[in-house]
Structure 1
Amino acid sequence: MDNRDWLILKLLYEKKNISKTALSLYISQPALTNRLQQLEKEFGVQIVLRERRGVSFTPEGEYLVKYAEEMLLRLDRVKENISNMKDGVSGTLRLGASKFMMKHKLPRILKLFKENYPNVEFKIVTGWSRDVFNLIYNQDVHIGFVRGDYNWPDSRHLLFEENICVVSKSMIDMKALPKLPRIEYKTDYLFKSILDNWWSENYSAPPLVSIEVDQVDTCREMVINDLGYAIMHDIVVKETDDLHRINITDKDGEPILRRTWMFYHEDLLKLNLVKAFVDFIKSCDLTSL
């Protein structure tokens, strides 16, 4: 097996489809099938099972996939160490970012960083904050941008804070919220637990959810059109939206905030690329981006 075989196994395991995997690797489907057969012959086991809608992996195949993923990660780290021996800052920076961070902040950050370090490339994975947390915890990425106060054991840097607020088209009475139509959107479990805890502390009746959408931007548009109120972070609400905002507070009257962090492993700062990016982020005022 070589790094090409590792990549074949990894991608095929992710896509569960030979034709899609071949397309991703820019090789023909027969060539991919032939290479799988060669691997099965080499190890004397069946790696995949052909099914009507794709493939599934045998236990032996899953073991080889795990090995392939470990070897690809080792290869990346070897390349990083070699690149780090050179003068200057170059190489591929692996980042994990929450969906919000990727949409609203990260493109501008990467553009500015690239202007200073043109020899840097980026490999970015986006997802819910809990998924990004797992990526950085397992060192699948160099740096993670995570929303929420996760219990991170290594180095971190606070990027910005957001107020959480009740947003509506017109002024509303907070005591009447349980009787008013609410618009909900999909969010990560940590943020949802904050909202649920706040609600249970202030109201004895459940919220009257009238509309459920998949994204916070869609939710905001529903509020703009006066279809109900929503509870969201204030950074989403633009001044041009002409909406009313009431910040929510805890039982002591303190504002309930949602924080966005940069998580990283301190020992990775020995890599010029990682150190340069961490220093760059620390020098930025992200609230103005």
Structure 2
Amino acid sequence: MDERDWQILKVLYEKKNITKTAQSLYISQPSLTKRIQQIEKEYDQAIISRGAKGVQFTPQGEYLVKCADEMLGRLRQIKETVQNMGDEISGTLRLGVSNYITRHKLPGLLKLFREQFPKVNYKVTTGWSCEVFDHVYNREVHIGIVRGDYQWGEAKHLLFEENICITSKEKIELQDLPSMPRIQYHTDPTLKSLIDNWWTRTFSEPPLIGMEVDKADTCKEMVVNGLGYGILPSVLIEDHSSLYHINLQNEKGKPLVRKTWMLYHQESLELKVVKEFVEVVKKLDFKNDI
């Protein structure tokens, strides 16, 4: 079995469907079926069965799937080690990046890094910060950029801080919020918890949700158009000086802030491409330089 075979097993186990697996791996269904048959021939065992509920794995197939992550990780490690032996900075840098940073900061950051190290390739995984944290923790990426505080015992670097604030088109009073329409949006659980805890400490009644939208950027646009207020990270409204805002405070009267971190395992710095990327980021004023 080669790297492609292990990848096929992993994706097929996730999709439980031949058609979806073939589409995901950009191969034809006949080619995928033939490859599975070759794996079964190699081990002289059936590894899957097909039924009304889709593809089901036999015990032998389940065991091979468990081996897939280990084998793919080992093959990736071998490739990275070989690439790391050269004098030139090259190879694939695996990054996990939160949604906001992906949209607003990552393109400029990668452009800056590529100007210095043109032979580096990138594999970027995006999502909520909690998902990115899992990717870093499980060593699926070299470096993660997350918003919010996580229990992390390895290397990390603070990129920037931002206030959490009530934002509206017109001036509003804090005590009036429970009776005013709030624009709710989907966000990372850590920010949602931060906002919800502040609200329950401050008010004895729930907020009046006027509408629910997909993300904080959409919420901001609704606020700009006077459709309600939002509770947003300050970085989103810095270019809208006309908006009224009130910085939230914790129980000690200090500003409620959200931190953005770069997380990585110390041993990852043994890879030249990771070390160079970390050094470049550390030299930046991340909030203002990109």
Where on the TM-score scale, by shorter chain, does this alignment land: which range? Answer: over 0.9
1:149-228 alignment runs, 5 A limit: 149-228=149-228
What SS does the aligned partner of 1:182 have? strand
What SS does the aligned partner of 2:95 have? strand
What SS does the aligned partner of 1:239 have? coil
Q: Could you tell me how far apart the structure 1 residues matched to 2:266 and 2:168 are?
A: 43
Amino acid at match of 1:96: G
Q: Which moved more, 1:155-164 or 1:50-59?
A: 50-59
Q: Could you tell me how far apart the structure 1 residues matched to 2:48 and 2:170 are?
A: 58
Q: Could you tell me how far apart the structure 1 residues matched to 2:249 and 2:60 are?
A: 53
1:96 aligned partner: 96
1:210-249 alignment runs, 5 A limit: 210-240=210-240, 242-249=242-249
CA deviations over 1:32-66 (Å, ceiling 9, x no partner): 11221232343344433435585344454333222
CA deviations over 1:227-267 (Å, ceiling 9, x no partner): 21110101112434732111101122110000000001111
Q: Could you tell me how far apart the structure 1 residues matched to 2:21 and 2:229 are?
A: 44
CA contact (8 A) 1:183 1:209 kept: yes
Deviation at 1:26, TM superposition (A): 4.1
CA contact (8 A) 1:92 1:121 kept: yes
Q: 1:52–1:242: structure 2 CA closer, same or farther, 3 Å change rule?
A: farther
- Report the TM-score when normalising by structure 2: 0.94
Q: Could you tell me how far apart the structure 2 residues matched to 1:5 and 1:189 are?
A: 36
1:14 aligned partner: 14
What SS does the aligned partner of 2:206 have? coil
Q: Could you tell me how far apart the structure 2 residues matched to 1:197 and 1:172 are?
A: 21
CA deviations over 1:122-141 (Å, ceiling 9, x no partner): 01111111111111111111
Amino acid at match of 1:204: S
1:96-115 alignment runs, 5 A limit: 96-115=96-115
Deviation at 1:7, TM superposition (A): 1.6
1:129 aligned partner: 129
Identity of aligned residues (%): 55
Q: Could you tell me how far apart the structure 1 residues matched to 2:153 and 2:59 are?
A: 34
Q: 1:62–1:228: structure 2 CA closer, same or farther, 3 Å change rule?
A: farther
The alignment yields a C-alpha RMSD, in angstroms, of 1.7
Amino acid at match of 1:85: M
Deviation at 1:71, TM superposition (A): 0.7
Q: 1:181–1:25: structure 2 CA closer, same or farther, 3 Å change rule?
A: closer
What SS does the aligned partner of 1:251 have? coil
Q: Could you tell me how far apart the structure 2 residues matched to 1:111 and 1:62 are?
A: 42
Amino acid at match of 1:9: L
CA contact (8 A) 1:17 1:54 kept: yes
2:144 counterpart of 1:144: yes
Which runs of 5 or more residues in structure 1 are unaligned? none
CA contact (8 A) 1:224 1:241 kept: no
1:253 aligned partner: 253
Q: Could you tell me how far apart the structure 2 residues matched to 1:118 and 1:17 are?
A: 39
Matched positions, count: 289
Q: Could you tell me how far apart the structure 1 residues matched to 2:220 and 2:60 are?
A: 48
Q: Could you tell me how far apart the structure 2 residues matched to 1:142 and 1:127 are?
A: 16
1:277-288 alignment runs, 5 A limit: 277-288=277-288
CA contact (8 A) 1:178 1:205 kept: yes
CA contact (8 A) 1:161 1:258 kept: yes
What SS does the aligned partner of 2:78 have? helix
CA deviations over 1:82-115 (Å, ceiling 9, x no partner): 1111102110001111111111111110110001
- Report the TM-score when normalising by structure 1: 0.94
CA contact (8 A) 1:156 1:263 kept: yes
1:270 aligned partner: 270
Which runs of 5 or more residues in structure 2 are unaligned? none
CA deviations over 1:177-224 (Å, ceiling 9, x no partner): 111111110111111111111111111111111211111111112112
Q: 1:51–1:218: structure 2 CA closer, same or farther, 3 Å change rule?
A: farther
